[in-house]
Amino acid sequence: MTLSYKENMVNYCIYLRMHNPRKTIILWGIILFFISFLPVTDTFAQREDEHACEKSCGEKDEHIREQTNKDENNHDHSTSAGENFLNSTDSGHELYEKLLKKECEHDVSIIKCDECRYEVGVVKVDPSLLDEIVIIGKGMPMDIGITHEATGEVGPNQDRFVIVSPRISGVVKEVFVDWGDQVKEGQKLALLDSIELGEARADYLKAAAMLKLAEKNYSREKELYGKNITSGKHFFDAENAHEQSHIELNALMEKLLLMGQEEGSIRQMQEKLLLMDQEEVDIKHTAKAEKHVSSLFTLTAPFDGTVIDKKVAVGELKNAFDPMLTIADLTQLWVWFDVYEKDIPKVRMGNKAMVSVASYPEEQFEGNVTYIGNTIDEKTRTVKVRIEVANHHEKLKPGMFARVLLQVDDAKSAVGLPEEAVQVDGQERFVFVPLKDGYFIRRNVILGTRLNGYVKVVSGLEENDPVVVKGGFLLKSETMKEKFGEGCGGH
């Protein structure tokens, strides 16, 4: 067994102490003197070793950094090349041929390399997935102008909206319609009994009978006066009475018209009186007139529409102008929405608009701007705008909230795609176009207006270009592998 230098010295000191103590003391002093330099020597040696290690490690790190920079340069070059392909407008066949000629760091065509094709945005799809999960379509022409979006509310067309009420008081005898009923112009709505109307009709018939007598008396006096049989006073009295009867009859007709009676029905009532026998008219005109008077009257629909409100019951006394029924034409509705001050110049009369509601999210209802408010709300700093919308299907209901897309610029033809065809990567929007043999490449696009589930492609795609319209998210997940360390950049 080999002993160290220090161990040999210690053994020698023990030997001297046992045989020669004086020499031992001198030797210990010499040992301590030299030992005090040993740590310094070891430290210098350790530092020399560390310096040599650092030099060796530094050379190794420098080699690593050079290799890393080289790899990064290669990766950047590949990425740059990939971006050129992502923004390329070449056809799928042309892109396929270019990618076949481009080699990756594995000395194979980059499109054929399973590890590197992701860097240029290419993905390969199993043929079994085509037409099932991945569906290819074409960009279609869409005429979409610049739009302004707002939230509005559906309301009735006030020009085709009426509250039906009687002009005179009466007791409701019968109601012919109910909530939601479709009515036609002139259709009977309710029957009422009015004492006031009965008295007015009786007065009119009495005046009509008096006019008949006045005409008869006037004709007789006129004939006698022409033969100089009667005096001029009698003739002029008969003439004045005839004219007075005409005036009274016309005044009573106006009263009936003000009560809501139609002139035709009034004339018809008068004709019935005149059809009575001449003898009856002469002797019993007043009694017959009262006998033929009716105090009943009907309320009718002023136009075609729907009963949207009903406030009447049989036996109820309704005063003049009490609301009974509300009728609205729901085939034409208004949609009101607010526009901020800064957006007022964008809105013009006749602007087209598309309206959608939560009840039918997949449908769009077309209309036009028919009114722009003249005053601004002081609190909201907005102006009211009205759209008139056709509603022949009657899916829209007054009171519904609506989403309004107002076209504020002339429509221009552009390529349109379903929204699900467009994928997102940070600030970029892209689609996938087919190349050949199940290969697809990512193509960046710039988007415009969105409408009814479609989006306008401003740049990056031409009309009728083949594009993946369904299943794009699956392809996106494959191309994103590069970001997770796969592909050439990860080796």
Tokens describing residue 339: 């526009």
Query: Burial, 78: exposed, middle or buried (Cβ in 10 Å; 0-12, 13-18, 19+)?
Result: buried
SS3 for 246-290 is HHHHHHHHHHHHHCCCCHHHHHHHHHHHHCCCHHHHHHHHHHHHH
Task: Report the C-alpha gap between 336 and 154 in whole angstroms.
Answer: 7
- The pLDDT, as a whole number, for residue 489 is 46
Beta strands in 104-158 (DSSP E): 122-124, 135-138, 140-144, 147-156
**Interhelix angle for 263-274 vs 278-291, to 10°?**
130
Task: Report the C-alpha gap between 89 and 79 in whole angstroms.
Answer: 18
CB 205 within 8 A of CB 289: yes
Q: How far is CA 327 from CA 159, 187, 303, 307, 395, in A?
A: 11, 12, 9, 5, 17
Task: Report the C-alpha gap between 462 and 448 in whole angstroms.
Answer: 14
- The pLDDT, as a whole number, for residue 490 is 44
Task: Report the C-alpha gap between 61 and 59 in whole angstroms.
Answer: 6
CB 124 within 8 A of CB 439: yes
pLDDT < 70: residue spans in the chain:
1-97, 100-101, 142-146, 272-292, 409-413, 449, 452, 481-491
| CA dihedral (147, 152, 153, 155) positive or negative | negative
- The pLDDT, as a whole number, for residue 60 is 47
Among the residues of 142-258, which ranges form H helices? Answer: 195-226, 232-258
CB proximity list for 276: less than 8 A, separation 6 or greater = 288
Alpha carbon 379 to its chain's center: 25
Q: How far is CA 278 from CA 47, 204, 213, 285, in A?
A: 149, 19, 10, 10
- The pLDDT, as a whole number, for residue 311 is 95
Report the 10 Å Cβ neighbour count for 156: 20
Phi, psi of 273 (to 5 degrees): -65, -40
SS3 for 396-443 is CCCCCEEEEEEECCCCEEEEEEEHHHCEEECCEEEEEEECCCCEEEEE
3 state DSSP class of 482: helix
Tally of CA atoms within 13 A in the half-sphere of 34 that contains its CB: 7
- The pLDDT, as a whole number, for residue 47 is 47
Tally of CA atoms within 13 A in the half-sphere of 63 that contains its CB: 6
Q: How far is CA 174 from CA 247, 295, 308, in A?
A: 36, 14, 19
Phi, psi of 14 (to 5 degrees): -65, -40
The model's pTM is 0.53
Give the residue from 397, 388, 394, 390 showing the smallest Cα distance to 370. 388
